A and B are shown apart, each in its own frame.
Chain A
Amino acid sequence: MSETNEAVRELVVVSGKGGTGKTSLVASLAALWSSKVICDCDVDAADLYLVLAPEVQEEHGFSGGSTAKLDLAACTRCGRCLDLCRFDAIEAGPEGDGPASIDGFACEGCGLCYEICPDGAISLGPSENGHWYVSDTQHGPLVHARLGPAEENSGKLVTLVRREARRVAKEHSVDVVLVDGSPGIGCPVIASITGADQLLVVTEPSVSGVHDLGRVLDLADRLSVPAAVIVNRWDVHPQGADDIETMCRSRGVELMTRIPYDPDVTRAQVAGVPVVEYRDGAAARAMRDIATAAWNLLEAGHERESRVSEEVS
């Protein structure tokens, strides 16, 4: 028997380009799906809490790495750390007389200086990077986090938040996790989607949106995560929406829904509620369609996996 039968299934909403409407869509899916845990993986611009009114139940500190500290009293100014640090994090004194201090923002916490210092003048301390929370919302549990400004290790924090969301799901006997991802294709996005069951890519019908969509779909292919595409504000540039449809067809990716431009999306955000709870306008109706279609995709993926695992066993 494969584990996939009991495993929690994760649907992740990403975009490539920022500001295409990921979080507004996730908030509406959260309001419409009956049984799920919600997870905000956009840890350095976490906004889902603003429309889900969470009540924090658990708060934890997050330390994703270490930062080197220099004890000048023990340092004999041999300069080895200065020569060997590849991140220019060791700052030289004004007279060229060895290290003077360590730039905590440049330091990546690799520990090389700590390992090679002959004087034992460098120590490694845990860096305090942010916090993560488990909260209750009207629409189910929310696992979210806040990376401190200018902090590192967002990928590690994303991995942690996802793991905790799966734990909370098991505790509540819920088998779906709805994940809000971050823009881009780098470290936090890879951490958000590796091993996920389904991606929804929200894009917009602009040259930038289409270009960035292509890169996210390439990443999804590499990580073998199935993706479906949503075009937001499609009527701002109908030709662009058609181009996206052509691109999806040529790549064998489903274009799930087109969402029209609707000022209610911003008004709902200002009111602090998901769009579908604000007014049943054009965007809200499109999001209802997405909620049904995306849920069906997750179910279909689950059935497919169950069949495969039965055949294997």
Chain B
Amino acid sequence: MASPLRVAVASGKGGTGKTTVATGLALLLAERGIQTSYLDCDVEEPNGRFFLRPEISETGGVFVTTPVIDADRCTNCGRCCDVCRFNALAHLPNEILIFPELCHACGACALLCPEGAITEEPRKLGEIHRGVAANAASADGATDIDFMEGCLDVGEAHAVPIIRALRRQLPESGVVIFDSPPGASCPVVETLRGADLVVLVTEPTPFGLSDLEQAIGVVGAVAGEAVVVVNRTGMTEEGDAAAKRLCEREGLTVLVAIPEDRAVATCLARGDAPVLAVEGYAARLAPLVELIRERVAT
């Protein structure tokens, strides 16, 4: 089966500019006529839609299964509680208590109940939205962007099944931009798994660089090549130098550096994409756009 070029945008630290870069890349690639999909995998706080302004045409629920106990058949033997490693079932003297939020939907309790007293019912975790983002850049040959986002219901704990459901929607060709959540644990792993190229967006501060190291660790574990975007340079000389040192030590290319600019911050606050609204911003991302364009072509 044919597969698209998978580009994931990640950072470790939150607020370094992942969504700005990911949506900017989607706009610039589509402007060049390249078939582009944008996947918002930050399902706890999806924000890509503010900058791409898609027309949503499909909404689907994401469900996981959760156990239901038939009280007439249950002998309160407690086997289900013994096999559940997530403490989603508790053995009380007269009944079994279920905590659906802790359930990982592995199915062990239902399968191993000696009385066949457990069935599984679907429980909604969140939603997937799909639509088209018209390309605001009106260059000749520009295409629209295939837009998808996951959205975790408030109060639910597990983002991974929603990211997994998003990944099942991938097209067979073109470029897919995965906008990753912050951090370096399960949801980031699920987003970066199998990426052809990871764009690490960092800021030249101690927090930014410490979390970048975590993100580099994830890339090493589950993805291939990575390049770096250093965002908000020029705030402190020490910070800029430390970012350079870290990338040299890790053998990572800094492909793009974007200076700190209050006009960009204001533009983002309003919900406008800097590649469209701030003079010179698109040119800063050009080396990255070019790299991705070459990879899709080959």
Contact = CB atoms under 8 A, between A and B. Distances in A.
- Are A and B interaction partners? yes
Interface of A: 15-20, 23, 43-47, 50-51, 65-66, 84, 86-87, 105, 108-112, 115-116, 147-152, 154-155, 182-190, 204-209, 211-212, 215, 218-219, 222-223, 233, 236-237, 240, 261, 263, 266-267, 269-270, 272
Given A17-B47, A184-B181, A267 B236 contact: yes
Interface in B160-186: 181-186
B106 A110 contact: yes
The 9 A-B residue pairs with the shortest CB-CB distance, nearest first, are: A18-B14, A19-B15, A149-B217, A110-B106, A237-B269, A184-B44, A207-B271, A206-B269, A208-B47
Given A16-B45, A270-B205, A115 B112 contact: yes
Contacts of A51: 206
Interface residues of B, number: 63
B260 to A, nearest CB: 9
23 contacts: A18-B13, A18-B16, A19-B15, A45-B211, A87-B106, A105-B221, A112-B108, A149-B184, A149-B221, A150-B184, A150-B222, A183-B15, A184-B182, A185-B44, A186-B156, A206-B268, A207-B270, A219-B154, A237-B265, A237-B269, A240-B270, A266-B235, A270-B205
Given A50-B207, A149-B215, A185-B152, A207 B15 contact: no
Contacts of A20: 14-15
A263 B232 CA distance: 12
B155 A219 contact: yes
Contact of A266 (B186, B193, B239): B239
B111 interface: yes
Q: Most chain-A Cβ atoms within 10 A of its Cβ — which of B185, B218, B220, B262? A: B185
B185 A154 contact: yes
Nearest to B186: A152
A207 B236 contact: no
A311 B258 CA distance: 60
B56 interface: no
Given A207-B270, A267-B235, 10 more contacts: A44-B188, A47-B210, A108-B104, A147-B185, A186-B158, A186-B187, A208-B50, A212-B45, A215-B154, A270-B205
Contact of A111 (B12, B16, B83, B187): B83
Q: Most chain-B Cβ atoms within 10 A of its Cβ — which of A149, A190, A233? A: A149
Nearest to B182: A18
Q: Most chain-A Cβ atoms within 10 A of its Cβ — which of B14, B236, B265, B270? A: B14
